[in-house]
Amino acid sequence: MSNIEDQRTDQFTPVNPEESELEQWLEEGSRKLAEKQFRDAIKLFEKVLRVDPDNMAAFEKLSLARSIQADMDHIAEYLAMGRELMSQHDWRGASEEFQAVLSIDPKNEEALASLKQTQSHLGVNDTERDALTITTGGEGVFDLDSMPTDREYHGYSNDDQETAILGAGVTSEFPDTQGSPDFQRKLEEALRIYEAGNLVRSRELLEQLRRDNPNHSQINFYLTAIDHKLETDSVRKDQSGAENMFKQGMDLLEQQKFDEARDAFQNVLRVRPDFSQAQLMLDRIDTMEGSTRADRTASRVDEAERSNRSMPRTSKSGKISGKQLPGKPVRGGGPNWAKIALICVPLIVIAAVVAYLMVIYPKARFDNLMNQARFKIDQKAYLEAISLLESALVVQPESMEALEMLGVAGMEGGKPEKAILAYQTALEITPGEKDLIMKLGNAQYENQQWQDAEKSYRQLIRDIRYKDDALFKIAMSLKNRNRLDDAIRSFLDALKSNEANSRAHFELAQCYEQKEMLPEAETSYQQAINTDPKFVQAYEKLGDFYRQHNEYEKSAEILKKLLIWFKPTTVEKSKKIAQLRFELGEMQYEAGDYQGAVESFTTVIQIEPNIDAFRNLGRAHYKAGKLTEAILVWRRGIELDNTDYDLWFQIGTAQLRMGDVTAAENSYKEALRIKPDFVKALTNLGFMYYQTYKYDLARQLWRQSLQIEPDQPTVKDKLKEIDKSK
The CA distance from 662 to 653, in Å, is 12
pLDDT of 16 strictly over 80? no
Lowest-confidence segment of 321-335, 430-444, 476-490, 614-628 by average pLDDT: 321-335
Beta-carbon count within 10 A of 681 CB: 28
> If we measure between CA atoms, which residue out of 136, 145, 135 comes closest to residue 682?
135
The CA distance from 349 to 571, in Å, is 68
pLDDT of 194 strictly over 80? no
- Measured over the CA atoms of residue 67, residue 69, residue 70 and residue 75, the dihedral's sign is positive
The CA distance from 94 to 117, in Å, is 10
**Which range among 14-18, 343-347, 383-387 has the greatest average pLDDT?**
383-387
pLDDT tens readout for residues 424-449: 999 999 999 999 999 999 999 999 99
pLDDT of residue 474: 96
Average pLDDT, the chain: 77
The CA distance from 47 to 22, in Å, is 8
The CA distance from 397 to 388, in Å, is 13
Regarding predicted confidence, which is higher, 236 or 456? 456
pLDDT of residue 354: 54
- Of the pLDDT bands very low, low, confident and very high (cuts 50, 70, 90), residue 571 is confident
| Torsion from C-alpha of 346, 351, 356, 357, nearest 10 degrees | 100
- Of the pLDDT bands very low, low, confident and very high (cuts 50, 70, 90), residue 502 is very high
- Of the pLDDT bands very low, low, confident and very high (cuts 50, 70, 90), residue 276 is low
CATH placement of domain 448-532:
1.25.40.10
> If we measure between CA atoms, which residue out of 486, 530, 539, 536 comes closest to residue 508?
486
First to last CA, the chain: 52
Biggest CA–CA distance in the chain, Å, is: 158
Domains 3-72 and 182-285 share a fold: yes
The CA distance from 508 to 514, in Å, is 10
Instruction: Determine if the pTM surpasses 0.85.
Output: no
Regarding predicted confidence, which is higher, 704 or 567? 704
Per-residue pLDDT averaged across 622-648, rounded?
92
What b-and-e string marks burial along 394-432, b requiring 16 or more CB atoms within 10 Å of the CB? ebbeebeebbbbbbbbbbebebbebbbbbbebbbeeeee
pLDDT tens readout for residues 381-402: 999 999 999 989 988 888 999 9
Cβ neighbors of 256 (< 8 A, separation 6 or more) are: 288, 292
Lowest-confidence segment of 150-154, 194-198, 404-408 by average pLDDT: 150-154
The CA distance from 112 to 95, in Å, is 10
For the chain, percent of residues with pLDDT exceeding 70 = 72
Hey, what long-range contacts does 413-422 have (CB within 8 A, 24 or more apart)?
413/382, 413/383, 413/385, 413/386, 414/382, 415/382, 415/383, 415/386, 416/443, 416/444, 416/446, 416/447, 417/447, 418/386, 419/443, 419/446, 420/444, 420/447, 420/449
Per-residue pLDDT averaged across 614-625, rounded?
94
Per-residue pLDDT averaged across 718-724, rounded?
85
Contact 154, 162 (CB under 8 A): no
The DSSP letter of residue 175 is G
Delimit the domains of the chain by residue range: 3-72, 76-124, 182-285, 448-532
Beta-carbon count within 10 A of 68 CB: 19
The CA distance from 24 to 412, in Å, is 39
The CA distance from 387 to 391, in Å, is 6
- The DSSP string of 196-237 is HT-HHHHHHHHHHHHHH-TT-HHHHHHHHHHHHHHHHHHHHH
pLDDT of residue 331: 47
> If we measure between CA atoms, which residue out of 602, 708, 513, 705 comes closest to residue 173?
602
- Of the pLDDT bands very low, low, confident and very high (cuts 50, 70, 90), residue 229 is low
Lowest-confidence segment of 126-140, 286-300, 340-354 by average pLDDT: 126-140
- Of the pLDDT bands very low, low, confident and very high (cuts 50, 70, 90), residue 303 is low
What b-and-e string marks burial along 574-585, b requiring 16 or more CB atoms within 10 Å of the CB? beebbebbbbbb
The DSSP letter of residue 243 is H
- Of the pLDDT bands very low, low, confident and very high (cuts 50, 70, 90), residue 349 is low
- The vertex-349 CA angle with 343 and 353, nearest 5°, equals 145
What fold, for 182-285?
A: 1.25.40
CATH placement of domain 3-72:
1.25.40
Per-residue pLDDT averaged across 43-48, rounded?
82
